[in-house]
Every structure is written in structure tokens, then in C-alpha cells.
Structure 1
């Protein structure tokens, strides 16, 4: 039974836990922390020193340094011991662990003694192969017993876990974004202010890909497709926005029509500058970049991985959804849209309305709060005297379910 915090006269003390992250996961954590602070919760984050640390402190969160690497390794036992000490010091009512590594260390440190929410943000066993994938899957099946709730960002992500034999109490909370931060703007004016586009002809068709430069995001597939795109649209240009371990290899393979913008703190200007945004991922839970692009009124082309169909309006699926690792299909979709400005404008308008309706971050924060209340009971409704913050994180529709490997599902919330 959940503990009724109202009898203690206080709101929950929540510990968010993450390994080194950037991009979408960092934004989700930042948005949740900001919303929860605005609602008067007592929020602490444990994470390695990074840009995320500074962002969380600027929101007013308490931040504890956790010396952790991005992936499991020889230091895991030390990382778990340090985390256990941090948890003893913070004494949270609930631990919310984000991504595979934090989910591994967090559940080992807590082992069910405190209500633990695990949010995979895409499954670990999809990111690796061979024996490593088998070990990751075996761990996820075992550790599900130590998660009071597994929060997935798409029904497809939940189904992937259930089909892999992971048994847990599931809540699906689709990703979403801040529609005030990501909003339409005239492309010409934005392009003029972006230094990497200096010298680019104003009317040159521009495709943009925003994401960490890594195998997951599939920029190598996009580069293989790009030669075909340029043969069809000779003056087209492609900008890769982000940094990561594949940067040098991608640069070596890129033709002159591809520009590298590097890592940016705010990608909204790049979405606004684009005619089309592309994300050719190999796996996801539900990517934020397409939602951010649509909020800026830009059409997208994405691969049909977990969460993609759920994130798009129905009108997008025939033209904007392609199989993963298929350069030919990707080139055909990108080329067709770059040549059709009328269709791009129509899809951009539909995409913006879709995001406003279903993927506003404020719904995300409320849905996560519902999960916390289900696990902890009620708490006082008095709010701290904090200014209201608009946050950006994950979407509106949600389903809370218990899933067995046999696909039996039981509704928990209406």
C-alpha cells in the first residue's frame, strides 16, 4: 500500500538518477525536474558533472555528484556503493532512474526498499549485439522486480519490452515538448543568423538532422542516402547538428554538400531554418527531435522504429515514415519532400497542430505526478511560492498497464 504523505504534512522527496546523458534524455530530466520544483516537490538529482548539472542547479534543484560512466564497466561496483551512500544521505521517498545504466545501478543500490520508477528511454538490449545483448536482456528481466513502475515513452517501447519477456507494471507516457520554446519562425530570417549557413543560397533546399552523432541515430545511413538526394535535388544541403563518437568517421564520409554544426544548447533555430528535418534512427523509445521539428512547423522524415508511428499525425505515415537502414527509401522520401514546398507547408501545419494537441510537456509532468501519487499516496496540495515555469518533456495520452510475456494486460488507471 502507498504511504500517505499528507499525514506527514509534506510533499514527496524525489531523487532523479542519470548517467552521463545529453540530447533528449537530458531534456526530459530537465523538464521533469523543473515542473516538479514548480509544483513544490523536494527534488534532488544524482548525476555526473556535465551541462545537465548546471541546468538542474539553475532551476533550483539540489544536485549530488555521482561518479558514473555512460555504460557498465569495471567501475560499476564502486558506482553502486557510492549511489547507495547518496541515497542514504538524501533519504528520498521515491527514486526515478533514467536510462539503462542508471536503471542498472539504481535498482542494484535500492533493491526495492524505496519505490523506484525506471524509465529506459529505449531498451539497452537494442543498443548492443551478440552476448552483450543477451546479458542486457537477462538483467532487464531480472531487475523488473525492483521497479515499482516502468515508464515507457511509447506503446511500442512497452511492447518491445513485454515481447522480450520483461514483466513489470507499465505506464506509457508519450514524449512531448515545450511548444513555446519550439515554435514556427520564418526560415529565411533564421538562416541569415546562423553562421554555419553563411554563403548558402537563401532558397537552397535544406535538410537538417539533429541528434548525437552515434550509431543509434543513423547519420551514416543518411549520408549513404544523400548522394541520391543530391542527384535529384542538385542544390540541396544537409546539416548534421550534434556531436558524438561517430563525428570523425561521418566527416570523412561526407560530401561537400553536408555541413557539421556541432553540439548546440538550443536546436530550435536549426529546426526553424530547415525545409525538412530527418532522423534516420536504428532504435528509439520515442525521439524528441521529430516532435520538436513539428512544433516548429517543419515536416519530418523518420525511420519506423519504436515510438515513430505514435509520434506522427496519420497524414505523415505514407510520406514520412521509412524502414530503418534503408538508404533508398530514405533518399526517395527526402528528395520528394525537398521538391514539393506546398506539401511541406501543409505537413508542417498539421505537425504543429498534432504536437499542440497530444505532445505538450505539461501533460507529461502531470502524468508522471499521477504515477508518483499511485506509488506514494496523496500529499498536501499547498504549493511553494515559486514562479510558474513552462517546461518541455513528454506528451498527453497515457495508458497504465501490467504486461506479462504472454501479452496479458491489466488496466490500472482509467
Structure 2
């Protein structure tokens, strides 16, 4: 049965864009009519179109504010034009505007990609939690990417029909690098580094914790002055981070395809303060046979091979622990290489994005069934 699937997304870059693009590509390959509504800025607009989806403009900004009424009206207009069989809302803003616009009148799937109340100040947290509790009645399925993310929602009283669908990786895109590819990737990127290289692929913002990473790097470079760190991504904190970074830290800006950066690295690190289970970047890095260091956000341990946890997971906002974990891998290439190979096998065995696409059809079917009964959460 050919379905009309409408994805609505804000943000339209980084991990969310990759998740939506991979879903849209898989659904298009299965013969579905896939529509992606998103801002024209960011990478999602053209990557989804290149993979076969119909892309329509939805003007939306990240934070709620005066534009919300216009954003809600935009969702209504798009839904009336597309007439989808199911609507899949991605991230907090699409979840807000989309649920207020549709109000359960169509089968609706909401995927937070990290809960909204983790991204706001303490003063706004109560309001954000109250909204997520209220808005749950207009989602026929809520998709979390880890058991930890689901438990986090349940703990604050969000009652809904949850399904855990862990992120997947496009294994063809992450194809195993050959023995010389690290140097070849550095050459393609113009990175003239002969010593150890750590890479962070993430939006430059408070969530991703690059400020903590720079504190850790200041400690590490005292022990390893030949090591280099590159932050790959753009974002609102770029100027502030660049102002405090040492000369051993580089800024690559936002990139549409980070694969060469994973391959060029000796370790890939992410110092997040919160995540939707686990960010896509460490999974992609592991698929490229690179060891990772991540903070202990809810669900982060779920996608790691068990032997990796002592090497890979550090406490939140603990710059000393982060520095020690990076140094341990950067100074021990034998262990680092073994962990990377084990991580690659683990991701290829358990986290193929094609499984995500198939699982999501089950979610859509359940959303349609619940919608047809007229029940709410």
C-alpha cells in the first residue's frame, strides 16, 4: 500500500536532518509518497530532495515566540495541501506547532529528538514539562530513540503511547575505511596534522558542551602538546568558543557530509549536557571504525558495546574525566584501534538504518489504529 507520509522538521540540520533524510530515503525506496516540510536554511531541504522526497517550505525558528501563530498556520496549510496518511513531527518546535495545528485530527507521530524541557532555563522548565504533558494527547505515538529517553519522559509525568526506535546508520555511507584512509582523509580535508587528532562533530551550542570540551582540552594539551582538536559544526556559540580556544583547536564550520572527519580522527568526542538517547555522530563514528568518548546522558550506554563503557563514558560536565578519557585513547593506538574495530562490528550488526525504516512502519500502523478508535493518550 502506497502511503503519503508527511515529515515536519525544525531544526533542519545536523543529526535531526540526517535522521529525517534517511527515513525519507528508505520510505521513497519502498514506493511511498514522502513529503518533508522544513525551513529552506540548513541541509535537510536539499538532502531530502536529493534522496527522492518532495520538499515544501515551512518557515519556522527553533525557539517558541511571536512567530508561533504563523508557524501553526503554516502547518495547517501544508497538511491541507498534502493530505497525508500520517504526520511525523520531528523535534520540539515541530512537535509544538504541529500538535497545536492538527490536534489529533490525523494520525500523528511525535519524535522529540531530546525533550524540550532539557533545552530551556530552569525558569521555563516547568512550563515546558506542562506543555509536553498536555500535548501528549495529540500524539498517537511518541517515538524515543532510547529506553533512557522514554524513562526520562515518564519520570516527569508525560503519559503517552511510547515506542523506542533506536537511531540507525546508513552503512553504505559509512563503508569501512581502508588502512590508509586516515591519512587520505586528512589530505582531502587539508588537515596538516601528523600527531593525534580528536574530532567533535556537533552543533556549537550549550547542549553539545563544547565549552566543557575546551576546558578538558586545555588540560590534555599540557600532557600532549602535539595533539590537535577540531570542532566540526556551526552554531550560536561559535564566536565565544573560538575566543577561548587555544591554537591547537581548529574550527571547520558546518559540513553537509562529515564522513571524512570521522575517518581522519583518532577519537571522536561529544561532551553533551543532554541528548535524545545518543547522538547520531558517535554512532556514525563507530560505524567508521573510530572509538568514541561521550558523556553519560540518558541512553548513551545503550548503543555501546559493553567493553567500551569504561573507556567511552564520562560524567556530565566533568572536564577532568573527559581529558583523561581522551588521553587514554590518544596515547594507546593499539587499544584505540581494537575498540574502533569492535564498535564498527557492533553498529553494523545492530544499527542498520534499514531496520529503523521498517520499524517506523509499525509505529505508523499503530498510530493509525489508535487514531481510528478516536482515543487519546
Q: TM-score range by the shorter chain?
A: over 0.9
**Root mean square deviation of aligned Cα:** 1.3
In the TM superposition, 1:28-177 aligns within 5 A as 28-50=19-41, 51-177=43-169
- In the TM superposition, what is the alpha-carbon distance from 1:155 to its structure 2 partner? 0.6
- In the TM superposition, what is the alpha-carbon distance from 1:60 to its structure 2 partner? 2.5
Are 1:270 and 2:261 matched, yes or no?
yes
User: What does the per-residue CA deviation read over 1:254-295, in whole Å, with 9 as the maximum and x for residues that have no partner?
Assistant: 001111111111111011011111001000012001101101
- Match for residue 25 of structure 1 among 16, 26, 35: 16
Are 1:345 and 2:337 matched, yes or no?
yes
- In the TM superposition, what is the alpha-carbon distance from 1:191 to its structure 2 partner? 1.3
CA distance in 2, matches of 1:60, 1:332: 45
SS in structure 2 at match of 1:168: coil
Aligned pairs, number: 365
Partner of 1:187: 182
Q: Answer 1 or 2: higher relative contact order, Cα 8 Å, separation at least 6.
A: 1
CA distance in 1, matches of 2:5, 2:357: 14
CA distance in 2, matches of 1:120, 1:316: 27
Are 1:250 and 2:241 matched, yes or no?
yes
- In the TM superposition, what is the alpha-carbon distance from 1:66 to its structure 2 partner? 1.3
- In the TM superposition, what is the alpha-carbon distance from 1:307 to its structure 2 partner? 2.4
SS in structure 2 at match of 1:302: strand
In the TM superposition, 1:385-396 aligns within 5 A as none
Judge conservation of contact 1:206–1:274 (CA < 8 Å) in 2.
yes
- In the TM superposition, what is the alpha-carbon distance from 1:170 to its structure 2 partner? 0.4
- In the TM superposition, what is the alpha-carbon distance from 1:46 to its structure 2 partner? 1.4
CA distance in 1, matches of 2:344, 2:291: 9
CA distance in 1, matches of 2:275, 2:110: 16
Partner of 1:388: none
CA distance in 2, matches of 1:81, 1:262: 33
- In the TM superposition, what is the alpha-carbon distance from 1:37 to its structure 2 partner? 0.8
Using structure 2 for the length normalisation, give the TM-score: 0.94
Judge conservation of contact 2:108–2:367 (CA < 8 Å) in 1.
no
Judge conservation of contact 2:171–2:287 (CA < 8 Å) in 1.
yes
Judge conservation of contact 1:21–1:70 (CA < 8 Å) in 2.
no
SS in structure 2 at match of 1:40: coil
Partner of 1:238: 229
CA distance in 1, matches of 2:80, 2:155: 36
